[in-house]
Structures are given as C-alpha cells and as structure tokens.
Amino acid sequence: MSRLPRTLLYLVFAVILLSGSFPVGEPAIGVNWGTISFHRLKPSTVVDLLKDNKIKKVKLFDADPDALTALVGSGIEVMVGIPNEMLAALSSSTDASDLWVRQNVSRYVFKGGADIRYVAVGNEPFLTSYSGQFQSFVVPALLNLQQSLVKANLAGYVKLVVPCNADAYESSLPSQGAFRPELSQIMTQLVSFLNSNGSPFVVNIYPFLSLYGNSDFPQDYAFFEGSSHPVTDGSNVYYNAFDGNFDTLVSALNKLGYGQMPIVIGEVGWPTDGAVGANLTAARFFNQGLINHVLSNKGTPLRPGFPPMDIYLFSLLDEGAKSVLPGNFERHWGIFSFDGQAKYALNLGLGNRLLKNAKNIEYLPSRWCVADPFKDLTNVANHLRIACSVADCTTLDYGGSCNGIGAKGNISYAFNSYYQLQMQNAQSCDFDGLGMVTFLDPSVGDCRFLVGVTDHKKSLAFRPTHRKTTIWISILWWMWFFLMS
C-alpha cells in the first residue's frame, strides 16, 4: 500500500484537531501537592517521596519557587497554578502575563529542568459561592497568557487549563447535563479556546461532598463496588457517583459541540478525619476503588473504553492550616500525613504495591504536653480557645478520631497540638500552670497525640509517634486520666 502524501496527512491531522477528537492514551495517576500548612516538609523531601512512589504527575496550586526548584530534573510532569486573586491583573495586562510566564514557567523549563506541562488558570473560578467575582477575568487571562507562551516559544508544549468545580454543570440525569445557564456564554468561549489549543477540560469531582452535604444521598453510590440505588438513565445504568458526574460533564460538553474533548480529573479523593464518614477505612475504600476503576479502562456509559485522560488524587499530604469553613475534614485529605508517612495501604497501580513513606525525617524528641492532673481545670476554656485558634484541633469535633476521649483528653490534645507547633518550647506548655510535659505517649486508641518533625530550616509538620519513655510524672498523668474519665 502506498503511503499517503504528506499534505494529506497534515490535512487529516487538522480535521481531527478541529473536531475536538483528541487521541486518548492510558490514564495516569497524579497527586495534588498542597502547601497550606503551619510549616512544611522540605520540598526536596516531598519530591523524593513522589519519586519513591513512582508518581509521575503533580499538580501545584501556585508556582512556588521552592517546589519548582525541587522538581527540576525529577522527570515529574508538573501543573502549576495561578490563584484566582491574580486573574484580574493577568486579564488586563499582557505585560503582567509576560512577566508571570518568565518568572514561573520559562525560568524552569530548560533541558533537564522542570517538566511543566500545564498552567492552571485559576482554581474553580466559577464556583457558585464566589458569586461571579472571578468569572469575567478567566477568558481574557487565558488569551493574554497564551500570547505570552507564544512569545516564550512554549505554546506548543505548555498548555493552559481552567480547573472547574463540578457545580459548573447540572442535571438530574447524566444524559441531560448542561452548564449552568449563567455560564453558557463563557463556557462556550472556554471550551473553544481549550479545543483550539489542544488542552483538556479539567474538573474536580468529590463524591464525599455529595454524601456529606445530603443526608438522602445513598452511601454506597459514593463508592465503586456497586449500589443498591443505581441511577437509570435510558439504556444506561450508573452504579457510582463518579461515573454519573463525569457523564453529566460529557453531556454538557456535547451540547456545546465538544463531546469528544479529553477530560482530566484535577481533584478527587476522600478525607480521613474531621467528619462522620471521613476515616481511614472509607478513604482507602474510595481511593483504591477509584484507581482500580480508572485503570481498568472501562470508561463510563457515555465514553465506554475511554476513561479520564489523567486523575490527580486530592491530596498528597494533609494541610493543617487550611480553612475549615467547608468542614473540619478540609485538613485531612492526604494519602500521607504531614511527615510523609502513609496513612493506609494503597496501590496506585504505578509499580509499587503499597505506598512508601518519606525518608530521613528529623523528629522532635518524644515528649508531649498534657493537662497537669493535680491542677484545677475549671478555668481552662480560654486556654483551649487560644490553643485551638493557632493549632489544629479538628480531630476533636464530632466525627473526628479524637472525639471520644473525654473533656480532659480534649484539653491535653489541644495543649499538645499547640506545644508541638511551637517546637516544644517549654513556655508553650505552661498555660498558666495547667500544662505539663510527659514522656509517655498519651494517645488513646485511634486518637494519636502528635509529635513534631523539623528540618534544617526549623519548619514543622506533625506525626503520630509510638516511642515511649517512662518517668514517674507520666505514669501519674495516665493514672489520673483513667481514674477521672
């Protein structure tokens, strides 16, 4: 058979490109690396953690220079983020977009440098709760940034995307999915831009939030083992919320004429603490089910055999300084704890059967701050309020892993969280004489009292530790705790 003329091949490729029908390869598993922590692990430690677990794709929420420097030469594909608050400036000035590209993309993209493949322009900028405050900036920012990438000779390699929350579209059935009416015009512009530049549509899907926010939501529909309450949509039957949500987006894109556009899942996961249903067992069950489902290449009813292009698990590490406005679970999405220790067994399908822990973590001494058993704790409320306003006490609330340790246990947990955050400074365990330092781990059952970790820059994260050194005052505290509980 004679080969097609080169001009004809180019024509075929152009038709495919313009039709929005992009080739779809094997789905890849990546992670979101968030850094909203009181203090952070060294970026080089985090990159080593990614490499040890064979994770080849990472999504950042900004263009943190320390993280990007650590990723140089790692071979890990990177999606850098632009916060919503920067969209206004980038939409109004090509000078601003040129500068941003130079500082945050060009300087890292060189032979052997950081492998930046995507720039996320905003993060869920169309979220309903934002009341449209970022909406008008998105497309102008995209256009300016695209020009800046062209000037930098990077437009053919670095693609612009806009991560959207699943509330951008709506429907009672997947086949009837459509973008929210007020977003119709801007979504038409957005997907046209994505299609023209070979970019996927990025969406964040959270079955946990559907379950958390709706008492009537069938619990088994959030997972991947089948449901006793499947959704029937014509000839299609949906047995899990992820597929139903994904196909609702497919239908919404199809209504705009881009039904074949590749879709990347920018965020998906399950928290391990801070709410009813947020626990280690459920998180492992969901994430492992998700990974197995996506890597099976089964696809969805509207895209059989074509799973998402990539999925980025949310998230790599817990972030103890995140806002808890959506819920206390916000600080507990990580598949690893703050110090890079795996929370549960998980096979990412990337070569390692189980997660590997971060290495060479420097821990603070095995000591804790607890309530002094010999002191009157009647007036401790203000100390508790101050400690928990600074440190993370979200595990103490209803549904949390430390919710059942009693009032005195709550006091000690709050004291210790503050003490570890202050690098075990002796004065930080005073609390007007109500606190004391113990060398015996006060953890109770699943409730782990944390011990800090430090790096050479004296940054701090946390870890549960089981090392015990017994002294007489620690024993007295334990006796008091059990006698008074």
* Model pLDDT for residues 28-87, shown as the tens digit of each residue: 999 999 999 877 899 999 999 999 999 999 999 999 999 999 999 999 999 999 999 999
Instruction: Give the per-residue pLDDT at 183.
Output: 98
pLDDT given at position 4: 38
Reported as a pLDDT band with limits 50, 70 and 90, residue 236 is very high
The pLDDT score that the predictor gives to residue 453 is 83
Q: What structural domains and CATH numbers belong to the chain?
A: 22-331 (3.20.20.80), 362-484 (no CATH)
* Known catalytic membership, residue 77: no
| Residue whose C-alpha is closest to residue 20's, from 252, 191, 266, 249 | 191
Catalytic-residue membership of 362: no
Please tell me the distance from the alpha carbon of residue 278 to that of residue 343, in angstroms, as a whole number. 13
The mean pLDDT value of the chain amounts to 90
Tokens in use for 439?
């060398």
Mean pLDDT, residues 206-226: 96
Q: Express each pLDDT in 81-132 by its tens digit.
A: 999 999 999 999 999 999 999 999 999 999 999 999 999 999 999 999 999 9
Cα 341 from Cα 464, distance rounded (Å): 9
Strands 57-60 and 28-33: parallel
pLDDT of residue 428: 98
DSSP 8-state symbol, 329? G
- Percent of the chain at pLDDT > 70 equals 88
**Cis before residue 315, ω within 30 degrees of 0?**
yes
Q: Please say whether the dihedral angle defined by the alpha carbons of residues 303, 241, 353 and 58, taken in this order, is positive or negative.
A: positive
Only one residue has tokens 């964040």, namely 204
Give pLDDT, residue 455: 56
Place of tokens 């058993």: 373
Options 77, 267, 319, 330, the catalytic residue: 267
Stretch 171-184: mean pLDDT, rounded? 97
pLDDT at 26: 75
One-letter amino acid at 214 equals N
* Separation of first and last alpha carbons in the chain: 84
Query: pLDDT by residue (tens digit) across 333-389?
Result: 999 999 999 999 999 999 888 999 999 998 899 999 999 999 999 999 999 999 999
Name the nearest CA neighbour of 185 among 108, 126, 269, 248. 126
User: Can you state the percent helix, strand and coil of the chain, rounding each to 5?
Assistant: 40, 15, 45
Q: What confidence category does residue 459 fall into, taking pLDDT thresholds of 50, 70 and 90?
A: very low
Q: Torsion angle, CA of 50/52/54/55, rounded to 10 degrees?
A: -10
Q: Is the pLDDT of residue 12 over 90?
A: no
Q: For the chain, what is the radius of gyration of the CA atoms?
A: 25
Q: Between 6 and 300, where is the model more confident?
A: 300
The catalytic position among 26, 77, 85, 124 is 124
Neighbours of 355 (CB within 10 A): 20
Q: Which of 304, 178, 306, 173 is closest to 234 using CA atoms?
A: 173
